Amino acid sequence: MQPIRVALVGCGAIARSVHLPAMAHLSDRVRLVATADLNEQAARAAAEPWGASVHTDYRPCVERKDVDMVMIATPEFDHRGPVEAAAAAGKPILCEKPMASSLAEADAMLAACRRAGVRLMIGHSRRFTRRYMEIRRALDGGEIGRLRLVRENERRSRSPLGTRRGYYTASHWTGDPRVSVGAALTNGIHEADLLRWFTQADPVAVFGEHKVTIEGNPGVPDFITYTVRFANGALGSTEISNVLPPGYPAFHQCELYGTAGAIRAKDQDLIGLTQYRDDGAEFPESFDILLHNLTAYVREWAGFLDALQLDGPVPMPPADARAALELALAAEDSARSGRVVHLGPAAPASETGARA
């Protein structure tokens, strides 16, 4: 088969750290032919190794006749426009998670792709991470019986003092309350999707609490914890923070309890003792290895390419990405209002939790 020709919209951190390397691993199957970013220097840096064309406007980029598919790696509040433009141009789309920052935007994206008859996949990389794939396999095989409880926690560190502070500060879009929902979406969308994927059920109620914890945060919640009751009786819970002291080990722990057993998956610290200070950790940590798991993104890309080249379904249905968004927004709504948010067809309209 001829390599699939790709337009990359958004050439920032996530594109540089995982999507461009994943494409390089699959260079026999994909070829980057065009890039687009408001920052021309970023677009040019992404394009140069491939000899790709450079754009500062995504519209002419996705409309090019030599583009077969579009990869969108912009922030979630800027997904709808590129998705609608790519769909109107008849191009299948792989788009970074979370799907959008509101359900109205997500529904508009889905409608645009349905009208155009193009495939849309939202890149939930955890579904392509080996340990989570193994958990799903074990659950499908009934190895722990009926799942009753799943808990997924995620912790990350912030940048050291004196450097770019990163998430949830005034210098980063995640700290701008006009466009950022906060921790519930930034990385909490992973947990929302995993809870649904493992329970294989729709959520019916969620209760959450959130906090603003770091100096320089303009008011966007950087910590959230919530509990979910699912339609099949299972419970889910999660705790998410990525502004812990500089150098704190990137850490994920997933625990599942069923009627006939349990599963536990966690990151290892890899070192015995670490001291944490504002200027950094005493010992180097494995942030890149634990969080930017390149093999997961290679599998994600390969799954999407298979769907295009073999004319099959995408491995991550966009309806699942919308459902994860609905749960994450409901958790944030619960944390903001201090009440339980009910979901599903029977939920009162005022208690759906998902922002229109």
pLDDT in tens, 72-103: 999 999 999 999 999 999 999 999 999 999 99
- Judged on CB neighbours under 10 Å (0-12, 13-18, 19+), 348 is exposed
pLDDT in tens, 111-142: 999 999 999 999 999 999 888 998 999 999 99
Backbone angles phi, psi at 96, to 5 degrees: -60, 155
Given a contact cutoff of 8 angstroms between Cβ atoms, the answer to whether 228 and 184 are in contact is no
Break the chain into its structural domains and give their ranges. 4-123, 130-290+325-337
Number of other residues whose CB lies within 10 A of the CB of residue 272:
6
Q: For residue 252, what are the contacts with CB-CB under 8 A and spacing of at least 6?
A: 152, 153, 154, 155, 265, 266, 267, 290
- d(C-alpha 1, C-alpha 88), whole Å: 25
Confidence of residue 274 (pLDDT cuts 50, 70, 90): low
Given a contact cutoff of 8 angstroms between Cβ atoms, the answer to whether 153 and 239 are in contact is yes
- Gyration radius from the chain CA atoms: 20
- Do the domains at 4-123 and 130-290+325-337 have one common CATH topology? no
Determine the CATH number of domain 4-123: 3.40.50.720
Indicate if the alpha-carbon torsion angle 56, 58, 59, 64 is positive or negative: positive
- pLDDT for the residue numbered 285: 42
Indicate if the alpha-carbon torsion angle 194, 148, 351, 344 is positive or negative: positive
pLDDT in tens, 21-62: 999 999 999 999 999 999 999 999 999 999 999 999 999 999
pLDDT in tens, 163-186: 555 788 888 899 999 999 999 998
Could you list the beta-strand ranges (E) of 45-170: 53-55, 69-72, 93-96, 120-123, 147-157
Determine the CATH number of domain 130-290+325-337: 3.30.360.10
- pLDDT for the residue numbered 282: 52
Both tokens of 129, joined, read 């991470």
Summary mean pLDDT of the chain: 89
